[in-house]
A and B are shown apart, each in its own frame.
Chain A
Amino acid sequence: MIGEAELRDRVEAAISAGAQLRARPREEVASLVAAAWGLIADPERAPGRAARERLPETTGLSLPMIAWALRATFEQADEAAHLEAARRMTPAEGAALSPARLSALILAGNVFTACVQPCSMALLAGSPLIVKASSKDDVLPQLFVAALAEIDLELAEACEVVTFPGGTPSLESALMSRADVVSVYGSDATLTAVRQRLSPTATLVPHGHGLGVGLVPRGALGDEAEAAAAATAFALDVAAYDQRGCMSPHVIWVERGGAIDARRWASMLATQLGRLAEDLPRGALPADVGAAQIQWRGVAAARGELHEGDGWAVSYEGRAALRISPGWRNVMVLDLEDARQVGAALGSLGVHLKTLGVAGDAALRRSVAASLPPGVAPRVAPAGRMQRPSLLSLADGRPPWEGLFRLTALE
């Protein structure tokens, strides 16, 4: 385990590299960062091979799932996306961008690609970065720094990756002591602990507990083909990262009045999950999740209908209230009288609702987004893209560069 002195040295090293980083044109940094990710995306290159070799063990995901996640993430994190992010960060005339002297990023272990957006954004903003990766899985951030070093050693020096067990106060304090901004992915308990240790002048960007939900409006259930398309798309959302992500759907509401009702649609979703189980098999089930799965499926079978197969289950439970799924591809389908009621159903989730997947076209998404109650600000994403946010997607309703820089007004 890293010691406090070494950690402080690494923090100082990252801060020292900040001057070189800030001296670079933002567009150049964007191209170099995108190129580093590109090395990992490419299964023929050494970083890409290493990712595919090491991630199945550290994440518990199957190799096909790893390959899918890398492809799905990096096709949206290419050079064009990075250049667009750089462009959007450029302040309006009359203002200058003042990057954070150091940003700290504390990652969780549930979705291994969660580091991509915050790492890219910090470097684009000109803020050196220290990443505290999950002690169980630090593969992708480590590979990123290695890939960056292959491309541009000076730039790589602005990104340090460390791991140590959570709940180590002296190390956590050392990690955050020099950071102007601390971005945290983790449980609400983790956020609370970090908040208590943060200096009053540092900015906390919290990414706490969360979940996704899905909606199939009757407008997306005009016929069998539309309903099947929605089922195919949502099946991918459920299967992605084995439903361990904070954007993964736990429930999918199906509006009444379409050509296909919720009960039948649940069986269509089950069919698609069965197909995905062959192409993108689920990882091994941990014992604690197995216990929760037995309970969750038991309730579904006892009070509703349960479709289950090798590594997945779909329940249909009528108009019951949402039950949290144990993840690992267990999802419930519920009836919804009117899509306009979805806002009321979601209000109690508040900031925990990270993503609302909606089947159908953009007009349906706009209509649903307009009905959301105050305090609820999920990504409203097309079905099939719930776990595939773009590099520029808002994170918890905030710009992805939240806290990474302030603006100096030129008066």
Chain B
Amino acid sequence: MSRAALAAKIAALIDRLADGARDDAARDALLSEAAAWQRTRVKPLAKLAERREDPLGFPAVPTDVFRYVRVAAHPPEEDARVFRTSGTTSGARGASCVRELDLYDRAAKAEATRALFSAGPMRLVFLAPHPEEAPDSSLSYMLGRFVDWFGTEARWVFSEGRLDCVALEAALETDAPTAVLGTSFAFVFAEDALKRAFSLPAGSLVMQTGGFKGRSREVAPDALRAAISARYGVPEARVVGEYGMTELSSQMYETTLRAPEAPRRYGVPGWVRCVAVDPETLAPRPDGEPGLLRIDDLANLDTAVGIQTSDLATVRRDGARGDTLELHGRASGATPRGCSLAIEEALGDR
């Protein structure tokens, strides 16, 4: 099957499930089809598939692999975009090579519509770099697309690692419902810099994503959410966490806008399969038991649909809410452990 034909099938499924409908059988069948297609084209995936039989039928590519080898079903000259991770202590950055952005756009737009912008377009204020400043940031790319899809007006107030406090304060003086979107560490910068609280109009919301990665002081999620709520004058239920990563094409959002009374969890789009797996056997953990999060994302057609993260999570089949995800944080790995190691930065090129 050609890429175009497979992409068309995936696009059709995303469109069909965009409103929150579920068809897990169709999703799983298409995942298997896409994985088989990728296996003949993505060399690291083929090697992983040879390693051992995977309990879910095809292997998930660990995110670290993207730091060391090219994971793509097409040659480099056909890259439409290369998104890169923000790096590690060693400086090595993972690369997600996309040949066509249609599936990425389709998935991003569908889930953001459902999770954030069901009321329609509004003013957008970004605490993140503009896509022209960070062309290899998948987050900046997505936020740039949000301007086209959901924005009545856009302000970018974070540039070259610095918050433009004056611009942010000006952007928050408004009578129009506004969405403030950015990274967690940028919100911490804002907390440290802003001298007063604001009162955004009803219908406003905040979307925050990502961790701190040593770029700011760390703030516990609950504390940061409460601080954001107080600072911007939006109810905590309208402060929405986003979970995404460079190696994925789809995103997940906390479901608090559409289910404010339910426990705060991430909704899993219908074209995405989340599974908590056992770290040794890679077998799925029973529903509701924590494990390492594997994400099978149909929109990842150009790289690998199966992605193995280092995040600890519990996945629940949550009835009418669909599948939900509760994150328990990043597994810290074997680094500072007794007199053992945290010295990757000392190891030179990789």
Could you tell me which A residues sit within 8 Å of B by CB distance? 108-111, 114, 134, 185-189, 207-211, 244-246, 248, 250, 285, 287-299, 301-303, 306, 308, 321-328, 348-350, 352, 354
* Complex alpha-carbon distance, A327 and B340, angstroms: 9
- Per CB-CB distance, the 3 closest pairs between chain A and chain B, nearest first, are A290-B279, A110-B338, A298-B62
Report if B292 contacts A (CB, 8 A).
yes
Q: Which of A185, A187, A291, A327 contacts B279 (CB 8 A)?
A: A291
In the complex, A188→B344 CA distance in Å? 13
Given contacts A298-B48, A302-B65, whether A323 and B310 have CB atoms under 8 Å apart is: no
Which one, A110, A295, A322, A348, contacts B63 given CB within 8 A?
A295
Question: Which residue of B63, B68, B311 has the most chain A CB atoms within 10 A of its CB atom?
Answer: B68
Whether, in the assembled complex, B160 has its beta carbon less than 8 Å from a beta carbon of chain A, the answer is no
**Taking chain A's interface residues, is the majority helix, strand, or loop, or is none over half, making it mixed?**
mixed
Contact with A along B302-335 (1 / 0, CB 8 A): 0000001011100000000000000000111111
| Assembled-state Cα–Cα distance A296/B331 (Å) | 13
Residue pair B343, A302 in contact (C-beta under 8 Å): no
Cβ contact within 8 Å between B68 and A302:
yes
Min CB distance B120 to A, Å, is 40
Q: Closest CB of chain B to A251's CB: distance in Å?
A: 10
Taking a contact as CB atoms closer than 8 A, the residue among A185, A188, A210, A291 that contacts B331 in the complex is A291
Contact of A321 among B65, B290, B350 (CB under 8 A): B350
| B5 proximity list for chain A (CB < 8 A) | none
A-B contact count (CB 8 A): 159
7 A-B residue pairs with CB within 8 Å:
A109-B338, A110-B337, A292-B335, A294-B292, A308-B51, A324-B344, A349-B347
A299-B64 contact given A291-B333, A326-B333, CB 8 Å threshold:
yes
CB-CB under 8 A for A292 and B333, given A298-B65, A321-B347, A322-B347? yes
Known: A302-B65, A349-B347. A288 touches B333 (CB 8 A): yes
Task: Give chain B's interface residues, CB within 8 Å of chain A.
Answer: 44-45, 47-48, 51-52, 61-65, 67-69, 71, 278-280, 282, 290, 292, 308, 310-312, 330-344, 346-350
From known contacts A298-B64, A302-B61, A303-B69, infer whether A321 and B339 are also in contact, taking CB-CB under 8 Å: no
A210 touches B340 (CB 8 A): yes
Cβ B339 vs Cβ A108 within 8 A:
yes
CB distance from B345 to the nearest CB of A (A): 10
Q: Which residue of B lies closest to A110 (CB)?
A: B338
Is the pair B51, A301 in contact by a Cβ cutoff of 8 Å? yes
B44 touches A210 (CB 8 A): no
- Min Cβ gap B312→A in Å is 6
